[in-house]
Structures are given as structure tokens and as C-alpha cells.
Amino acid sequence: MSCFRLRIRNARQLVQVCSKQERFKSGAAQDDIALIEGGAVVVSQDGRIAAVGTNEQVEAWLQKQPQPVSFEKDVDATDKVVLPGLVDGHTHPVWSGSRVDEFAMKLAGATYMEVHAMGGGIGRTVRCTKASSEEELSQFLKKRLDRMLKCGTTLVEAKSGYGLETETELKMLKVLHKASKEHQIDLVATYLGGHSVPEGMTAAEATLDIVQKQIPAIIQAKKDDLVNPEFIDVFCEKGVFEYDDTKTILEAGAKAGMKINFHGDELHPMDSGKLCMCVQAHAASHLEMLDTANIKAMKEASTFAVLLPTTMYILKLCSPPARELIKNGVPVALGSDYNPNAHCLSMPLTMHMACCLMGMTMKEALVGATINAAGSANRAETHGSIEVGKFGDLLVLDAPQWEHLIYEMADPPIEHVIKNGRIVVS
Ligand code: NIG
Ligand code: FE
């Protein structure tokens, strides 16, 4: 008897966002999705997808198994929709303290950098996070990841960056590493020591500290399996880390074995596309101020653009050039940018905003929140689409068509969230 972990059948629609394994190399269109009517999927005991297709195709595959088959869980999805688990391409989920009062300041007209200059913003969260224990931060992180899972997120890119010195950055990365082993959500960690210039330091001094102290300490802690940042990030912004300092930090991170995914062109044009080419960035986020030449440079560099509609909305920024990026063949991913400034854990709401504020279609937003976000986190081989061999990360939607996931912005009808073939939220 072969016992599979899960079978779902009779789905009114099963959404396939990736028709080609080689999606990024062959340049599939951002809105390339296919719907299977009467869809079925089977997940093996190792948590991976064993078969997917129409009911008939999957049934024929099951018939061919050498032994009789059974299922730990058999879900009848009649009148329901099956989608891939969502991927959040950009978050800052490890921090303590509160900045709820700054929301009122911003509503009254203060800009992000004005709040920062008044002692709020990132610096304030850094002070609180330094004072918190690893245990406390782990508990905050767990609650946030639980809430993300409820909203359908099954893979998340998660940054450090509220330490800005060796000890606290390591503490944050340890918290992330522990969560990656213990929590049901899969997590890709990013080291963001260059998130802000610490009080009392110049950007040049902070750059030296990152390159000479923080990165070597991270390399050592990685060898000891205490941390595992796969990416390095910097907030490349006027008055924070500008082009040359950003480049120095990113190159040092790349030399230490980390891929590059940086914050760029959020408030001012910073030539982020040119920088992507120069440092061979895997991804760059925000990009509100990106111009045509820099879009073309991102295409040339094969860099993912990770767009963050919640931040643009909260800070009343102009829209990043989503349409032009897509037209130029840059793969666009989406992230909630969850942080104390943009307090949003929900990818359905993020997709909704990407459609209403950035002019993306629902298909483009879904691809942005699944396979492209997985690609931006270097997980396209295992996450982001319902394909044989990938993790059995699925959503069952109690709705007549998949678009309800985006249309019903605040409370979409997610009936089950499935991680590795197990129902983890229902
Ligand atoms: O991606 N822009 C820089 N970093 C974060 C905000 C972090 C914070 O305000 O705490 C972002 O929006
Ligand atoms: Fe961010």
C-alpha cells in the first residue's frame, strides 16, 4: 500500500502560475498563468508534489502506481479553487517596541525622513530591539509568522537590520535561523546591517564597521550554524547609504557568499539599475524613483524587481514603474514590506494594492506574489507554483474563481492553508 500525505480533487480551478520550469531564463510573460478545470493534486509523504493535473490525469497516474494507494487526507474541492501558497518577497519581521504614534504624525503630514530625524523611525526600533532578548524577539516573530500563514504565506524573505552593530544583528539573524527550523513557514534570511547609519557615526564609518566587523562575525556564526543569511541588503538612499558605500557593502557581502537584494530608489533616484549591473544583484526592492535607463539596466542584469505597495501607500510615494518594468521583461515580485512603518502581514492585501495603486493586473500580481517572489528569494526550484517535485504548499479558496483572493482584499475566503501537504490553517 502507498500512502500519500494528501490528495485534493475536483477543484473548480487549479491555478498554475508556471508553465515552464525555465520561467526566468526563457522570459515567460508576467501574466502567464493557466487554469485547470476539475483539477487534482497529490502530495507525497516527503511533503513534495507527486502529481498534478486534471482529475482524469491524476487518477490515471494513481492507477499506474505499483501498489494500491491511500491518502492521509483526501480533500474534495468541488466548487473551490486551489492556488499555490503565497510568497512574501520582502519583510522586516524581527523587532520590538511600538511606532503606532508615528502613524498619526505621518497622517498629519510628516515625511518618513522627518519622523526619522525627530528620533523616530528605524533608529527608534533599533533602540528597542537592542534591549530585547533573543527569546522575546523569537516570540514576536512567531506571532507575526503565524498571522502571515493565516493570510496564505508559505515562504517569506525576512531581514535583520534593527541592530546596526555586530551583537544585535547576530541576535536577529539567530532568531531568524531558529524560526526557519521551527516554524511551518519557510524562511529565507537576509542580513541588513546597512539599514540605517547608527547615531554618532558617519556613513563611511558605518560602512567600515559592516565590512570589517559585522560581515566577518556573520561568516564565523554561519560556520557554527548559528545563523544563515543567504542575502545581503542595504538601504541605498540619499542621506543614508549612498551609491558608493552601498556598493562597498554589497560587494563585501557577495565576497562572503551572500546574494544581493537591496533597497533602492525609494525616495530619491539612486541609479539602482546601474548598481544592479555593477554588483550583479539578484533582486532590488522599492524602486519608486527608477527611470527608464535604470529599468533597462535591471533587465540587462537579470535582477528581480521587488515592489512594495504598502510602503508607497503609507508614505504617499509615487508608484514604481511596474508597467514599464514588466514591458521591459524585468520579473516583478511583490512583498508586504512588513515593518513598523508598513504594518501589513497580508499578501492578498498587498496584491490588491499592487493592482489598484501600481496598475498591475490580477494575473501579474498573483505571479508577483508566487513564482516571481520565490525567484527573488532564490527558491523558484522549490516554491511558488504547483509543480511535481516542489513543496506541497497550497491554498484552498472557497470561491468560484481565483480572483477572489485579490478582490476580497481584507478578508479573502481562504479555507485551508497547506504546507508540505499538511493543512496548517483551516
Ligand atoms: O523597506 N526603507 C527602509 N526600510 C524599511 C522601513 C523600515 C522601518 O521604517 O522600520 C522599508 O520600508
Ligand atoms: Fe524594506
- pTM of the predicted model as reported, rounded to 2 decimal places: 0.97
Alpha helices in 27-120 (DSSP H): 55-63, 100-107, 112-117
Query: Minimum-distance ligand to the CA of 310?
Result: 1
What residue ranges define each of the domains in the chain, with the CATH number in brackets? 2-84+385-425 (2.30.40.10), 86-376 (3.20.20.140)
* Closest CA to ligand 1's atom 5: 339
- Sign, CA torsion 195/198/199/203: negative
Per-residue pLDDT, averaged over 233-245, amounts to 98
Q: Among 263, 288, 313, 336, which is best to mutate for testing ligand 1, by the most ligand atoms less than 8 A from CB?
A: 263
Q: Tell whether ipTM is more than 0.95.
A: yes
CA 90 – ligand 2 centroid, Å: 6
CA 263 – ligand 2 centroid, Å: 7
**Residue 425 and residue 416 in contact, taking contact as beta carbons nearer than 8 Å:** yes
Per-residue pLDDT tens over the stretch 311-369: 999 999 999 999 999 999 999 999 999 999 999 999 999 999 999 999 999 999 999 99
Write down the pLDDT at residue 15: 98
Locate the ligand 1 atom nearest the alpha carbon of residue 235 and give its number. Answer: 3
Per-residue pLDDT tens over the stretch 43-64: 999 999 999 999 999 999 999 9
Q: Among 341, 343, 344, 350, which is best to mutate for testing ligand 1, by the most ligand atoms less than 8 A from CB?
A: 341
Provide the percentage of residues in the chain whose pLDDT is more than 70: 98
C-alpha count within 13 angstroms, C-beta hemisphere, residue 312: 26
Write down the pLDDT at residue 25: 67
DSSP codes joined into one string, 45-56:
TTSBEEEEEEHH
